[in-house]
Amino acid sequence: MDKFNSLIVRYSEIGLKSSHVRREMERLLIRNLEETFRAEGVHFIKIVKRASRIVVYTSDPRVRKVTKWVFGVKSYSPSIETEAQIDEIKRVALSIAAQKEGSFAVRVQRVTKDFPLTSVELARDVGGLIKGDTGRPVDLSDPDQEIIIEIVAGKAYITDERIEGYGGLPVGSQGKVIALISSGIDSPVAAWLMMRRGAVVIPVHFRKTPEEERGFREIVSVLKRYSHGVRFEPVVIEHGSALREFVEKGAREWTCLLCKRRMLVIANRMAKEVGASAVVTGDSLGQVASQTLDNLEVESRCLEKPVLRPLIGMDKDDIVKLAKEIGTYDVSISYDVSCPFVPKKPKTKGKWRDFVKIAEKVGAEELLHTC
Ligand code: ATP
Ligand code: MG
């Protein structure tokens, strides 16, 4: 569609909430749209709620790209808004149909029922007009152009575009978490999934090498587009010197477990300080040595805050696909940089009683007394 005067935004899961929760989520969704458009320099006049739709008054083509970044959005369409009057609707639908060739279908949804015709009647009426005027054939199952008409509280929105959003819930609706982000492929996806479910994420990196820290900062700058004006500042904690000490004191095959345990213990403490409810990691069961069930148990034993692992049941291929989709894949550097502290044969089946002995040996007792 060349020109439009509005963007109609649909949300699904929010609509299922009780009215009190729904109102709060709708408010957040509008705020997040506004903040994202402002941050990206997208022009808009105003954003309003109309029945169970959100309408953005805009004709800026960049909304096609940027609206996708806002969680809670199921789908959206740059549209032409008119009064919900049959002649107006026909005129606009015909002008949109005139821009394309091939088969077409008219789809009508009456979001509110304040319209004299049923959806089927309106679709038939408009379809008949387009067919007569342009000679184009109707194909309801696989049309070249789909003309969508939505009736929403006295207005009609007419379009031939429907762009899918990522769904989820508005950022800010589900509290705060600390996400442990390396420079690899997995952890940015884990953080993104938590943002998609509405959590405010604090991105935390444990510094082992400058290259990794640079990678982390680039990842944060990509993820920031999904933060919708909520504070999203990177936090970096020195980690390499502690690891070096563990290695020098003979941690050997336990190094990775000590490394992960140290990150989780410190993140847990930090979560308590900043009022975050959980710590998030990018672990996927069995993907590497540190991610066996035995090791995960040792790493996160007896921590006050839950450790959430949104990727735990996902395959690498699926994670990579998501990383490419959300834009973090290109800036992750895990294939170029390998951790300088990884032993030749990392422990795959750590047991807590052995971990206690090794932690005492390397002087890391603070990793044991967490509850
Ligand atoms: P990723 O692809 O996220 O680096 P990975 O599969 O390489 O993960 P590990 O290196 O075993 O797995 O790390 C497991 C998880 O621990 C990561 O997903 C991440 O959440 C966290 N983590 C690892 N290294 C760091 C780091 N330097 N800073 C912060 N978190 C880290
Ligand atoms: Mg990694």
- What is the tens place of the pLDDT at every residue in 133-188? 999 999 999 999 999 999 999 999 999 999 999 999 999 999 999 999 999 999 99
Pocket flag, ligand 1, residue 166 (CB < 6 Å): no
Give the closest residue to 5 by CA, choosing from 116, 105, 103, 83. Answer: 83
Mean pLDDT of 195-206: 97
Question: Token pair 């992750």 is at which residue?
Answer: 332
* Containing structural domain, residue 70: 6-164
**Ligand lying closest to the C-alpha of residue 319:** 1
Which protein residues have a CB closer than 5 Å to ligand 2 (ion)? 182, 184
With a 6 Å cutoff on the Cβ, whether 182 touches ligand 1 is yes
Cβ–ligand 1 distance for 282 under 6 Å, the answer yes
CA of 255 to the centre of ligand 2 (A): 14
How many angstroms separate the alpha carbon of residue 188 from the centre of ligand 1? 9
Q: Percent of the chain, pLDDT > 70?
A: 99
Nearest CA to ligand 1 atom 31: 182
Q: What is the CATH number of the domain that holds 120?
A: 3.30.2130.30
pTM (global) more than 0.75: yes
Output the CA torsion sign for 281, 282, 287, 288: negative
Task: Determine how β-strand 145-152 pairs with β-strand 155-159.
Answer: antiparallel
Given 108, 133, 164, which residue is the final one in a domain?
Answer: 164
Q: Is residue 371 pLDDT above 90, yes or no?
A: no
Report the number of distinct structural domains present in the chain: 2
pLDDT tens per residue, range 1-44: 889 999 999 998 887 788 888 899 999 999 999 999 999 999 99
Atom of ligand 1 nearest to the CA of 237: 28
For ligand 1, the distance from its centroid to the CA atom of residue 183, given in whole angstroms, is 8
Q: Does 336 score more than 60 pLDDT?
A: no
Please report the pLDDT score of residue 16 as a whole number: 79
Any idea what the CATH number is for the domain that residue 206 is in? 3.40.50.620
Final residue of a domain: which of 164, 199, 218? 164
pLDDT band at 289 (very low <50, low <70, confident <90, very high): confident
Residues 181, 152: one domain? no
Judge if 160 and 195 occupy the same domain: no
Same domain, yes or no: 140 and 214 = no
In a domain, 340, yes or no: yes
* pLDDT > 60? residue 335: no
Answer whether residue 59 is part of any domain. yes
- Ligand 1 center–CA 184 separation, angstroms: 7
